[in-house]
Amino acid sequence: MLIKKTELIRSSEITPESVYLNRRQFMKGLVGTAALAVSGSALALPEPEFEKGVPVYPGPDWLQQQLRAGVSNAGMSTDEKIAPYRHAIRHNNFYEFGTGKGDPAKNAQNFVTDPWSVEVTGECDKPGTLALEDLIRPHQLEERIVRLRCVEAWSMVLPFVGVPLPELLKRFQPNSRAKYVEFTTLNDPKQMPGLRSVFSSLDWPYVEALRMDEAMHPLAFMAVGMYGNALPPQNGAPLRLVLPWKYGFKWVKSIVRIRFTEQMPRTTWNEAASHEYGFFANVNPAVSHPRWSQATERRLPSSLFRPNIIDTKPFNGYADEVAHLYSDMNLKKWF
């Protein structure tokens, strides 16, 4: 199945931020705007420029080498402006590092993400534990510019770098009994102060899951980078899911375990409050959260006097690509 290339934009229209525009303008001058819209075009990335005083996360040497060797533009884009880098790294939900939006940026800076390994188990013919380098390096890195919609009714547009999730999962040869795939975040109280909090209402480790048809959809993505470099620790380094048609709490971060299973797994927020956080978590403006409407969202950056409120679209604007996955489901019941 091909991803439908909707809402493509020229590089020069994306954002004025120097963190990203300088790299994009370089590409434009190198190969021309039209070439950037071609799926599979491998482009070498020059070193991006970042604002003074804003931290940069280059990542391990192997990832930097792979980034510089070339990143494919998969034709995934949007007509909306990318969030400034400084906002993307300072406004996060990552409860393992604290419940405040700024807590992850403050508390995750010493988080050790290299070396890193991922264990793959369950209903597959080739289980095993792989170093992150061995998991990622066989794949061509891609860049995807996607919308992130939080269940709290705020949103951003972010440029991620990584590999299609279906390509990664196929390497482990899930068998006919694999109906779901479960993802688990690192559980390390020594590094993650949120795990030590006596006020936490969540059971750790953080777990999320997908049906296999969702996981094998071309939009499903495993990110190792953003804004041309490695993922910052507060944004889910070194490995996180990107599921643009689902609410952000499904985008599990700092993944250490992948498990194929026949039964629907228990997931963290669904277990904590099933009446508020459904297993599927598809963005749906017609289904309100019990405490607020989902019909609109606050697109970041915004301010008190310029809140930048926009309408929320079904499946976060990706209905043409994914609605068929749920054609026989009552989306008010299976939210």
Phi, psi of 193 (to 5 degrees): -65, -25
Tokens standing for residue 90: 């300072």
| Whether the Cβ atoms of residue 67 and residue 228 lie closer than 8 Å to each other | yes
Q: What is the mean pLDDT of residues 211-220?
A: 98
Average pLDDT, whole number, for the chain? 87
Question: Cα–Cα distance between 119 and 324 in angstroms, integer?
Answer: 31
Query: 3-state SS of the chain: helix, strand, coil percent to 5?
Result: 25, 25, 50
| Whether the Cβ atoms of residue 183 and residue 207 lie closer than 8 Å to each other | yes
- Determine the pLDDT at residue 77: 77
pLDDT band at residue 23 under the 50/70/90 scheme: very low
- Determine the pLDDT at residue 27: 37
- Determine the pLDDT at residue 41: 47
With a cut of 80, say whether residue 217 has pLDDT above it.
Answer: yes
Q: What is the mean pLDDT of residues 106-121?
A: 97
- Determine the pLDDT at residue 11: 35
Strand, helix or coil for residue 75: coil
Q: What is the mean pLDDT of residues 259-281?
A: 97
- Determine the pLDDT at residue 200: 83
Q: Count CB neighbours of 61 within 10 A.
A: 10
Helices (H), 192-324: 212-215, 268-272, 319-322
- Determine the pLDDT at residue 75: 67
Q: What is the mean pLDDT of residues 221-228?
A: 97
Q: What is the mean pLDDT of residues 6-11?
A: 35
pLDDT band at residue 78 under the 50/70/90 scheme: confident
| Whether the Cβ atoms of residue 244 and residue 313 lie closer than 8 Å to each other | no
Question: Cα–Cα distance between 250 and 209 in angstroms, integer?
Answer: 8
Q: Where are the domains of the chain?
A: 11-326
Strands (E), 243-306: 255-261, 296-299
11-326: what CATH class? alpha beta
Question: Cα–Cα distance between 214 and 217 in angstroms, integer?
Answer: 5
Can you say how many angstroms the Cα of residue 289 is from the centroid of all Cα atoms in its chain? 22
More confident of the two residues 202 and 22? 202
pLDDT digits (tens, 9 = 90+) for 137-169: 999 999 999 999 999 999 999 999 999 999 999
pLDDT band at residue 79 under the 50/70/90 scheme: confident
pLDDT digits (tens, 9 = 90+) for 26-75: 333 333 322 333 334 455 544 445 677 789 899 999 999 999 998 987 66
- Determine the pLDDT at residue 304: 85
Q: What is the mean pLDDT of residues 305-310?
A: 92
More confident of the two residues 319 and 303? 319
Q: Count CB neighbours of 16 within 10 A.
A: 10
pLDDT digits (tens, 9 = 90+) for 321-330: 999 999 999 9
Phi, psi of 163 (to 5 degrees): -135, 150
| Whether the Cβ atoms of residue 188 and residue 159 lie closer than 8 Å to each other | no
Flag the least confident range among 71-80, 217-226, 270-279.
71-80
